[in-house]
């Protein structure tokens, strides 16, 4: 079976955008692939994390996987720092990758901003660690969105250069698994801004830890406008919502988009269903759907937050399984490089 590796950083509260953009996809992929899902805590510390909070966030990401439906009997779930092959292979890749390749990485420029000289060295070289995450398991496919395509290309470059330099075909040339475009999830209080874990207002987002009551309350209080809901005639020839309409009616478009994503329906279907209707009716339908889908996940995450030993047990067992795969691959890579293992 083809093998997938993917992960989520344990930084900040997980919200609806994280669920729709990544975690829901993980659940679907587990039926057709050998899946390894990681909590990438080594990546998280490229920027300062409060230690106690980091431990809590690692557990929360693992709990989100489980609550969403990732099956630990079918998939491997673990936190990255507990498998030494990630960091050890990353050092080899630090010596394989070229500075010119890393200088082209746009995410470093975005995260470091104007203070590049004060950014951590880890932030600069973490694409090499990402390559090690994938290749330590000889993963064949990685699910990617637009923001990760560049890093996957670097992984392919590193694998090809390692193989060329050492005259081997050891590492696979990983293929991207292009996911369907994730819903553009915006703030419930301001439809022109992305839903964010850093927003000061908790009412601006649907957290994955929100239970049914919180989900219902936040949607009912979400900002709307006074116009009737549009019909399919507003869509462009490809069936997508034009940016002009998003700018003109950001809150309406955001809630309609959330409904389309949660119901797994197209814009054409959603707008045909609610064309010309008042927001009051639509909001109730959206509330009922969101409570039914998200409420049980929030309750399960809350339950696991009160039982950290359960989550820790899943992570420990997953790390043992992951290490059983990665350690032999690392040892063989070290042998290829020429390291002596007496």
- Is 193 part of the annotated catalytic residue set? no
Residue with tokens 């994390």: 49
- Is 161 part of the annotated catalytic residue set? no
| Closest C-alpha to 336, from 95, 68, 65, 122 | 95
Q: Which of 111, 161, 223, 283 is catalytic?
A: 111
Q: Which of 161, 194, 223, 283 is catalytic?
A: 194
Q: Which of 2, 114, 138, 197 is catalytic?
A: 197
6: part of which helix (H) or strand (E)? strand 3-8
What is the DSSP track for 267-329?
HHHHHHHHTT--HHHHHHHHHHHHHHHHHHHHHHHHHHHT-HHHHHHHHHHHHHHHHHHHHHH
78: part of which helix (H) or strand (E)? strand 76-79
- Is 194 part of the annotated catalytic residue set? yes
In the beta sheet, which residues pair with residue 35? 4
What is the DSSP track for 106-172?
HHHHHHHTT-GGGS-HHHHHHHHHHHHHHHTTT-SEEEE-GGGHHHHHHHHHHHHHHHHHTT---S-
Helix (H/G/I), strand (E/B), else coil: 228: coil
Residues marked active site are found at: 111, 194, 197
């Amino acid at each position: 079976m083809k093998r997938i590796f993917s992960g989520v950083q344990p930084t900040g509260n997980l919200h609806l955008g994280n669920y729709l953009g990544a975690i829901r996809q993980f659940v679907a992929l587990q039926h057709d692939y050998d899946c390894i899902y990681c909590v990438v805590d080594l990546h998280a510390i490229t920027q300062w994390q409060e230690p106690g909070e980091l431990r809590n966030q690692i557990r929360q990401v693992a709990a989100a996987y489980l609550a969403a439906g990732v099956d630990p009997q079918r998939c491997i779930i673990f936190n990255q720092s507990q498998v030494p092959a990630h960091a050890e292979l990353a050092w080899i890749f630090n010596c394989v990758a070229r500075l010119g390749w890393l200088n082209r990485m746009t995410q470093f420029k975005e995260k470091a901003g104007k203070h590049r000289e004060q950014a951590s060295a880890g932030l600069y070289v973490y694409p090499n660690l990402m390559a090690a995450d994938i290749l330590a398991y000889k993963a064949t496919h990685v699910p990617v969105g637009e923001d990760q395509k560049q890093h996957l290309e670097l992984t392919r470059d590193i694998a090809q250069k390692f193989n060329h330099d050492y005259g081997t075909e050891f590492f696979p040339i990983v293929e991207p698994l292009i996911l369907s475009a994730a819903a553009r999830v915006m703030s419930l209080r301001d439809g022109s801004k992305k839903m964010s874990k850093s927003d000061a207002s908790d009412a601006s987002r649907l957290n994955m830890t929100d239970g049914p009551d919180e989900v219902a309350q936040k949607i009912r209080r979400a900002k709307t406008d006074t116009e009737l809901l549009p019909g399919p005639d507003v869509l462009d020839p490809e069936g997508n919502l034009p940016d002009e309409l998003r700018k003109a009616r950001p809150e309406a478009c955001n809630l309609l988009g959330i409904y389309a994503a949660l119901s797994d329906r197209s814009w054409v279907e959603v707008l045909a269903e609610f064309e010309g209707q008042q927001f009051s009716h639509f909001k109730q339908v959206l509330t009922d759907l969101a409570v039914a889908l998200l409420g049980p996940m929030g309750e399960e995450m809350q339950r696991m937050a009160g039982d950290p030993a359960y989550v820790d047990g899943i992570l420990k067992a997953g790390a043992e399984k992951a290490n059983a795969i990665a350690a032999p691959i690392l040892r063989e890579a070290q042998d290829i490089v020429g390291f002596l293992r007496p």
